[in-house]
Structure 1
Amino acid sequence: MVSKLDLYKVFCMVGKRESFSKAAKDLYMTQPAVSQAIMQLERELDTRLFNRTPKGVSLTHEGSLLFEYVHSAINLIEVGEEKMLEFKNLTTGELKIGVGDTISRYFLLPYLEDFHNKYPNIKFKIVNGTTLDLCSQLKSGEVDIAVCNLPIDDPSLELRPCFDIQDTFVCGEKYKNILSKPLDFHELIKLPLIFLEPNSNSRKYVEDYILSKGIRISPEFELGSHELLLEFAKINLGVACVTKEFSLEYLNKGLLYEVKLTEEIPKRNIGVCSLKSVPLSRASTRFVENLENRQI
């Protein structure tokens, strides 16, 4: 069955070529099929669209009026199809990523750089926030994906672990004497502790693990960023709970020292969060694949 859109495409081509035979050639159709399509459209509209002459055809007044609309509509459809192809080939589009400052700086930046080099026409929108904030922004559609500290207990989200991280404790020169032997958690909590704020997912993970051992922490300092944890420990204000992988610059330069524990805190992950109910865009899918496969 010939669709109305097909009839209009035939009509538009005949109007441009002013010939059934030329239109048929361009459309890879037979001339009788083109003539039949035009007659069908004229019957449905109850209007004569073309004047037939021995030299060809010309649009009637009504046909000319319709041609302007149809020609514009078909052009818009073609532009839309081209845009879809561009999105498919990642030659246009936008990728909205939610991420915390620390993960952005120490983990995500190389992937952003690599993706931008491969797909320079994809625009980035980076939204910063805590894990809790980013999950809310995912649900409101403000970001396509969020790169967060896991674990997260939310059945509406799909979680894709990408990178293992280890929580540890570090200190400056003043507390170097505690490094002679591994400490247990009872000994650790006697020291002035520096932690992230209570609403931080990283803080909750470590605090809950220590609490599972029957020990409650009471930090001397609660800070808003991982960078501040490192700086406070460096100037000997206490022992800071940090992510080891994000503290290597300080540790390797001897600015801080890792405190060995008799029992390591179990590793956790950085991962990508997305809504289960919303399919990822082509750009989001490719970016997530790069993260999962560590392609940089």
Structure 2
Amino acid sequence: MASKLDLYKIFCVVGKRKSFSQAAKELYMTQPAVSQAIMQLERELDTRLFNRTPKGVSLTDEGTILFEYANSAINLIEAGEEKLLEFKNLTAGELKIGVGDTISRHFLLPYLEAFHNHYPNIKFKMVNGTTTEICTLLKSGEVDIGVCNFPLEDPALELKPCIDIHDIFVCGEKFKYLLSKPLSLEELVKLPLIMLEPKSNSRMYVEDYLISKGIKMSPEFELGSHDLLLEFAKINLGIACVTKEFSLKDLEERNVWKIPVIEEIPSRSIGVCYLKSVPLSPASNKFVKIIENK
């Protein structure tokens, strides 16, 4: 037995063609099957929808009213199916990414460019936030994926590490005397430190590591931007804790110098995260694969 939606589709084609035989050809059905479907719909609605004549069929007044609504509904469904196909083929849609400014600038840009070159019709929506804020955005559905600092502990999220990064300490010209020999971490924290603000994942990682060694730090400056860390170090306001991979240009140009330490802080990573309970959209899935494969 045909479903109610199938019956309405057949009804609309018959209403357009005003002929059971022509509708049958268009629907790749037999004429008796089309006639049976219309009779089934008329029984279910307890209403005659067509006037049958030797020359064909015509809509009754009741049929005309139903046709206006049913035809609009079928057209909307078909438009929705076409739009869904566009999303699957990545010819339309939006990709919502939660990411901090530093990671966006120093890590994500090449992947955004590569994705846009392949799928120019997909729009980007970038939402700025800390790692903690990005996790909240993911759970509320405001972003599709997050790109943030690891380690990250959250059983609701799928985590995909992408690149290892290293936390180092750098100084400007005034503190170059510190380069003569490696410093212990205990010696380092006695210097005027420039750190990211406490809520940042990067700051917490370094601070937790120092605490595990029984070392407590008290920064001179706490900033909200990685680029500001470098700028403060350049003008000799203290020793900045920065991400090595994001500071290579300034290190190569000798705007800042890496301070040697006896014990390096273990590497961590930047990665992609998304909800385990929600399947990735086609656009999100493609973007994650571009990052993984590059």
Which range, TM-score by smaller chain?
A: over 0.9
State how 1:162-177 maps to structure 2 within 5 Å: 162-177=162-177
Question: Partner of 2:220 in structure 1?
Answer: 220
SS at 1:98's partner residue?
Answer: strand
Distance 2:118 2:267 in 1: 32
Question: Partner of 1:284 in structure 2?
Answer: 284
Question: Partner of 2:247 in structure 1?
Answer: 247
Distance 2:69 2:185 in 1: 76
State how 1:1-296 maps to structure 2 within 5 Å: 1-294=1-294
Distance 1:217 1:129 in 2: 25
Of residues 273-282 and 75-84 in structure 1, the stretch that sits farther from structure 2 once superposed is 273-282
CA offsets 1:135-189 (integer angstroms, 9 cap, x no match)? 2222222212111111112222221111111111111111112112222212212
Distance 1:274 1:36 in 2: 50
CA offsets 1:93-122 (integer angstroms, 9 cap, x no match)? 111111111001101111112212222221
Distance 2:6 2:142 in 1: 39
Distance 1:136 1:6 in 2: 43
SS at 1:264's partner residue?
Answer: coil
SS at 2:146's partner residue?
Answer: strand
Normalising by structure 1, we get a TM-score of 0.96
Distance 2:186 2:10 in 1: 83
CA offsets 1:5-49 (integer angstroms, 9 cap, x no match)? 111111111111111111111100111111111111112222221
SS at 1:38's partner residue?
Answer: helix
SS at 1:186's partner residue?
Answer: helix
Distance 1:233 1:64 in 2: 78
Distance 1:171 1:56 in 2: 90
Q: Which runs of 5+ in 2 are unaligned?
A: none
Shift of 1:89: 0.8
CA offsets 1:53-99 (integer angstroms, 9 cap, x no match)? 12111111111111111111110110011011011111111111111
CA offsets 1:173-222 (integer angstroms, 9 cap, x no match)? 11112112222212212222111111111011011112211111111111
SS at 2:170's partner residue?
Answer: strand
Distance 2:190 2:66 in 1: 84
Shift of 1:279: 2.0
SS at 1:242's partner residue?
Answer: strand
Distance 2:262 2:115 in 1: 41
Distance 2:136 2:45 in 1: 52
In the alignment, residue 194 of structure 1 is paired with which amino acid?
I
Distance 2:200 2:212 in 1: 18
SS at 1:47's partner residue?
Answer: coil
Distance 2:14 2:36 in 1: 12
Aligned-pair RMSD on alpha carbons?
A: 1.2
Distance 2:172 2:3 in 1: 76
SS at 2:34's partner residue?
Answer: helix
Count residues with an aligned counterpart: 294
Distance 2:51 2:137 in 1: 59
Of residues 273-282 and 120-129 in structure 1, the stretch that sits farther from structure 2 once superposed is 273-282
Normalising by structure 2, we get a TM-score of 0.96
